[in-house]
């Protein structure tokens, strides 16, 4: 049981040169952030610079029988946090990440199970983050999250995620 004001223990970093086990990370995330277990995440996958979730709509239904905007926004924000945290972990860094700014555009109703994809907003975003971390011990990265219901783009979100200085 999580306690208010008490940080959850960090997941140990993967061995140098190895990727995180995404199932293990998702399990840890559900312990660290209790609402994760109710989001309907069925699968987490990584392909190149993108991180994706496959989700069930049922936990996020609104009164109209479609996706509840607040739940969808929480999911896009959390996926960006996961992307940033996993990128840091691949680089041997156990750092705190916070969302600094986020915006969303709702384009179509979410009417069935869906998937979210997160990726850097620009091609040089990861290089710029690495440079800032090296020079200033902190940095920010802009990410884009897109929610797809079948072939329909239903939501596009953008977020700036801040990597805090080492404590």
Going from the C-alpha of 21 to that of each of 26, 45, 136, the distances in angstroms are 9, 10, 29
Instruction: Note the residue count of the chain.
Output: 167
User: Which of 131, 127, 137 is closest to 164 using CA atoms?
Assistant: 137
Please state the CATH superfamily assignment of the domain spanning residues 22-163 in this structure: Hotdog Thioesterase (3.10.129.10)
Domain boundaries, the chain: 22-163
- pTM beyond 0.85: the answer is yes
Per-residue pLDDT of the chain (167 residues), as tens digits, is 789 999 999 999 998 888 899 999 999 999 999 999 999 999 999 999 999 999 999 999 999 999 999 999 999 999 999 999 999 999 999 999 999 999 999 999 999 999 999 999 999 999 999 999 999 999 999 999 999 999 999 999 999 999 999 97
The tens digit of pLDDT for each residue in 101-148 reads: 999 999 999 999 999 999 999 999 999 999 999 999 999 999 999 999
CA atoms in the 13 A half-sphere facing the CB of 64 = 8
């Amino acid at each position: 049981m999580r306690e208010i004001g008490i940080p959850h223990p960090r997941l140990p970093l993967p061995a140098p040169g190895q990727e995180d086990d995404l199932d293990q990370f998702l399990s840890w995330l559900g312990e660290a952030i209790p609402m994760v277990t109710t989001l309907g995440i069925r699968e987490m996958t990584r392909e190149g610079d993108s991180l994706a979730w496959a989700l069930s709509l049922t936990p996020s239904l609104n009164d109209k029988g479609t996706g509840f905007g607040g739940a969808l926004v929480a999911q896009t924000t959390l996926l960006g946090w996961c992307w940033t945290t996993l990128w840091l972990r691949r680089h041997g860094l156990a750092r705190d990440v916070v969302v600094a700014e986020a915006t969303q555009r709702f384009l179509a109703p979410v009417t069935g199970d869906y998937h979210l994809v997160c990726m850097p907003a620009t091609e040089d975003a990861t290089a710029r983050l690495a440079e800032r971390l090296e020079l200033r011990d902190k940095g920010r990265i802009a990410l884009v999250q897109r929610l797809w219901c079948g072939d329909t783009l239903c939501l596009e979100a953008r977020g700036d995620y801040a990597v805090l200085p080492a404590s």
